[in-house]
Every structure is written in C-alpha cells, then in structure tokens.
Amino acid sequence: MQAIVLGVVQGLTEFLPVSSSGHLLLGQYFLGLDQDRFGLSFDVALHMGTLLAVVSYFWRDLLRIAFAFFRSFVHRDLANDPDQRMAYLIIASTVPAALIGFLFEGFFEETVRSPWVVVINFVVIGVLFIVGEVVGTRTRTASRLGFGEAVGIGFAQAAALVPGVSRSGATITLGLFLGLRREEAARFSFLMSVPIIAGAGGLEVGEVIVRGMDAAQALLFVVGFVTSAAVGYVTIRFLLNYLTNHSLRAFAFYRFGVAAVVAVLLLLGVGSF
C-alpha cells in the first residue's frame, strides 16, 4: 500500500507544479512514507514510471524532434524548421540541470532537506505563479524561444533540486515571464524533462542491474512503476488541458494552504525524520 501511495504521489507531483521532492519530504517527516527504505530499485521504478508517462504522451513529438535533430546534420535550418529548433532548445535547456545535478546532488539531498525549506519555497514559488500570470503576455510558442532563454529555463529546472520548488512549476513560471502561452510553457517543460529523467534513471538502472533484485523488491518495482506511469500520464493530460483555459492561481493557493498547515504543525512540534 505504501508503494502504491508513493507511486501516486510521484505521478501527480512530478508533473503538477506542486513539487514532488517537497511532498515526499513532508510525507517522510509527518507520515513516515519513506521511499528510500524500499531501496534503489524502487526509486528507479518511480523514475522509469514517470519517464514512460511523458514518453507515452509525447511520443509523436519526440520522434519528430529526434528525426529533425538528425536531419540537421545534413541540412540545418533552425530559423525555419521548428522541430529542428525545438531539438536544440531542449538540448540547451538540459545542460544547466545536468551539470548542477551532477556536481551538487549531495548538497541538495543533505543540506536543504528541511520542512521549513519546503514551506518557504511553497510560498515563494506560489507568489511567482501569480506574478507570472499578471506580467506574462502569453503570446509566444516554445519553438520561438531564444537559446539564452532556453538555458534560463534549464536553470529554473535545476532550481527544482531544492525541495518545494517544483520542476514543472519553476519552468512553466519562467516560461510565462518570457511570454509563452501556458500550455506551450507546460509542453516545453515536459519535453525538456525527458533527457533529465532518462539520464538520472539510466544511471540508477545500471546500479540496480549490478545489485540485482529479490522477489519482494521486484514486486515493489512493478507496483511503483505501473502506478507512477499511469497516474503520471493522466496528470500530464489533465494539466495541459487545464492550462489551456485556466491560470496557475489554483496551484498557488494550494501551495499557500499546504505551507500554512505545515508551518502550524512544525510550530506545534509535530513530526520528525
């Protein structure tokens, strides 16, 4: 049952702008839901499940972008071929998160693991949601981003290493500040997540293969994988449809509400690692 709950939490919060790492940390602190105790194989299952979700939803886009990337070796036309341009924008946006994650993963996993960090980031990013909705022109498509802007969105993705920030929330919000339409910002956020999730999960898959799995770990792997993949796919579909006609304000208010409840519990001395 805990594996199912964690799979649902991963599938929902990986793609909704509410922070999967923040919710997991709070779950560990208040409810004792700790995916680490299930082992590395379960962590891989959740990563691979969310990867399957985004690849399953965007497989046509990903194939088209991949073919365009290889086509660019023969005839490069980033100005007039939106798929070629998108391929290079995704690459540019991946570099910051990959470098920062590789160099400072230990720092983010240990130094900033605090419920108060989650509370502060829930509020700060929620405020940015509202500001982004006010100042964003919401007229641009993702394929017309500049490469400097894509790198900036990559740094926003890297900021999600801090619990409570939210990868999708940070990237979508910066997209709004850059004038992207909401659904375009979300689509680009999901597409640029593929290399990062695949890279992180791929490194862990190698370790799991070396270590092997017993029957109990295999069962947890399947449960976590299927649950996070199914919930993640539905979540992507929901969010893209929702953002077509709705703002991020509902997610901002959700973050404010959770932050307020958690702050009260912390002040009362509830919970512990």
Helices assigned H by DSSP within 30-181: 40-71, 82-110, 115-135, 147-159, 167-177
Tracing tokens 């994650």 back to the chain, one arrives at: 101
The pLDDT value recorded for residue 148 is: 95
The answer to whether the CB of 225 falls within 8 A of the CB of 72 is no
The answer to whether the CB of 220 falls within 8 A of the CB of 45 is yes
pTM over 0.85? The answer is yes
How far is C-alpha 8 from the geometric centre of its chain's CA atoms?
14
pLDDT one-digit tens code per residue, 180-192: 999 999 999 999 9
The pLDDT value recorded for residue 171 is: 96
The structure tokens listed for 6 are: 């964690």
Q: State the Cα–Cα distance between residues 166 and 156, nearest whole angstrom.
A: 9
Q: Which of 2-11, 58-67, 104-113, 116-125 has the lowest mean pLDDT?
A: 104-113
Other CB atoms within 10 A of residue 218 CB: 13
Q: What is the DSSP letter of 31?
A: I
Q: State the Cα–Cα distance between residues 192 and 94, nearest whole angstrom.
A: 7
Q: How confident is the model at residue 273 (pLDDT cuts 50, 70, 90)?
A: low
State the average pLDDT over residues 172-197. Answer: 94
Q: What count of Cα atoms within 13 Å lies in the side-chain half-sphere of residue 217?
A: 15
The SS3 assignment for 168 reads helix
Other CB atoms within 10 A of residue 124 CB: 13
Question: Does residue 199 surpass a pLDDT of 80?
Answer: yes
Task: Let me know the angle formed at the C-alpha of 25 by 24 and 26, rounded to the nearest 5 degrees.
Answer: 90
pLDDT one-digit tens code per residue, 70-87: 999 999 999 889 999 999
How far is C-alpha 225 from the geometric centre of its chain's CA atoms?
16
Question: Does residue 35 surpass a pLDDT of 70?
Answer: no
Question: Does residue 36 surpass a pLDDT of 70?
Answer: no
Q: State the Cα–Cα distance between residues 185 and 170, nearest whole angstrom.
A: 10
Q: Domain residue spans in the chain? A: 2-267
Q: State the Cα–Cα distance between residues 194 and 53, nearest whole angstrom.
A: 10
Q: State the Cα–Cα distance between residues 207 and 93, nearest whole angstrom.
A: 27
The structure tokens listed for 56 are: 């399953």
Q: How confident is the model at residue 252 (pLDDT cuts 50, 70, 90)?
A: very high
